[in-house]
Amino acid sequence: MRPLKLEDARHIMGWVNDPVVTKNLQHFSKRFTLKDEKAYVKRMIASRSDFVFSFFDKKTGEYVGQGGIHQIIRENKLGRLAVVVKKDFWGKGYAQYIIPSLVRFAFDKLKLHKVWIMVYSDNKKSLHINSKLGFKKERLLREEYFWRGKYHDMVRMAIIKK
Ligand X SMILES: CC(C)(COP(=O)(O)OP(=O)(O)OC[C@H]1O[C@@H](n2cnc3c(N)ncnc32)[C@H](O)[C@@H]1OP(=O)(O)O)[C@@H](O)C(=O)NCCC(=O)NCCS
Closer residue to ligand X, CB minimum distance, 94 or 105: 94
Nearest residue to ligand X, by Cβ distance, number only: 95
Least Å distance between CB 74 and ligand X? 23
Q: Does residue number 128 form part of the binding site for ligand X (CB under 6 A)? A: yes
Asked if 71 contacts 79 with a C-beta cutoff of 8 angstroms, the reply is: yes
Contact present, 40 and 70 (Cβ < 8 Å): no
- Counting Cβ atoms within 10 Å, is residue 139 exposed (0-12), middle (13-18) or buried (19+)? exposed
Identified binder of ligand X from the candidate list 5, 10, 74, 124, rule CB under 6 A: 124
User: Is 25 a binder of ligand X (CB under 6 A)?
Assistant: yes
Q: What phi and psi, each to the nearest 5 degrees, are found at residue 70?
A: -125, 175
Q: Which residue ranges make up the site for ligand X (CB under 6 A)?
A: 21, 24-25, 83-85, 90-96, 117, 119, 124-126, 128-129, 132
